[in-house]
Amino acid sequence: MTFEIALMLAALLAAVVLFSLEWFTADTIALGLLVTLVLTGLLPVERAFDGFGSDTVIVILALLILTAALTRTGMIDIVGRAILRRTGDNPDRLLAVIMVSSAGLGAFMSNTASTAFFVPIVIGIAQRAGFSASRLLLPLAFAGILSSSVSLISTSSNLVISGLMTQKGLAPMGMFELAPVGIPITVAGLLYMYFIGRRLTPDRGGGADLIEQFGVTPYLAEALIPPGSPLAGQTLGETKFGSDLDLTVLEVIRDKDRHFAPRTTMKLAAGDVLLVEGRPDEILKIKETAGVEIKADVKLADPDLEDDEIGLVEVILMPGSPLIGRTLKGARFRERYGLQVIGMNRRGTNLRTKLSTVSLRMGDVLLVQGPRVHVAALNDDHTFRVLGSLEEKIPRGRRALLAGAIFAAAILLGTFKIVPLSIAFLAGCVLVFATRCITPEEAYREVEWRVLILIASMLGFGVAMEHTGTANYLAGVLLGLAGDANPLWLLSGFFFLTVALTQPMSNQAAAAVILPIAIQTAQSAGLNPRTFAMMVAVAASTSYLTPLEPCCMMVFGPGRYRFADFLKVGALLTVIVFTIAILLVPRFWPLR
Position 301 scores a pLDDT of 40
* Distances 331 to 22, 76, 201, 336 between C-alpha atoms, Å: 21, 30, 36, 8
| Most confident stretch, 23-27, 91-95, 302-306, 418-422 | 418-422
CA–CA separation, 123 vs 134, rounded Å?
A: 9
341 in Cβ contact with 214 (< 8 Å): no
The arithmetic mean of pLDDT across residues 244-256, rounded, is: 76
Q: What is the pTM of this model?
A: 0.73
| Most confident stretch, 14-28, 172-186, 278-292 | 172-186
Position 262 scores a pLDDT of 79
Residue type, 247: L
Residue 150 pLDDT exceeds 90: yes
CA–CA separation, 479 vs 525, rounded Å?
A: 7
The arithmetic mean of pLDDT across residues 556-566, rounded, is: 83
Helices 563-588 and 529-540: crossing angle, nearest 10°? Answer: 160
Structural domains in the chain, sorted by start = 12-206+404-588 (no CATH), 217-299 (3.30.70.1450), 310-386 (3.30.70.1450)
Query: Cβ-count burial of 394 within 10 angstroms (0-12 exposed, 13-18 middle, 19+ buried)?
Result: exposed
Average pLDDT over all residues of the chain: 81
Residue 394 pLDDT exceeds 80: no
Residue 9 pLDDT exceeds 60: yes
What is 5-22 written as a DSSP string? HHHHHHHHHHHHHHHHHT
- pLDDT band at 134, cuts 50/70/90? confident
In the chain, the percentage of residues whose pLDDT exceeds 70 is 84
- pLDDT band at 501, cuts 50/70/90? confident
Q: In 3-state terms, the chain is what percent helix, strand and coil (to 5)?
A: 60, 10, 30
Residue 225 pLDDT exceeds 70: yes
- pLDDT band at 214, cuts 50/70/90? low
Position 189 scores a pLDDT of 96
What is 31-84 written as a DSSP string? HHHHHHHHHTTSS-GGGTTTGGGSHHHHHHHHHHHHHHHHHHHTHHHHHHHHHH
Using one digit for the tens of pLDDT, what is the confidence trace for 444-488? 877 778 778 888 888 888 788 878 888 888 878 877 877 677 899
CA–CA separation, 79 vs 96, rounded Å?
A: 16
Using one digit for the tens of pLDDT, what is the confidence trace for 47-58? 888 888 888 888
CA 367 to chain centre: 19
Residue 575 pLDDT exceeds 50: yes
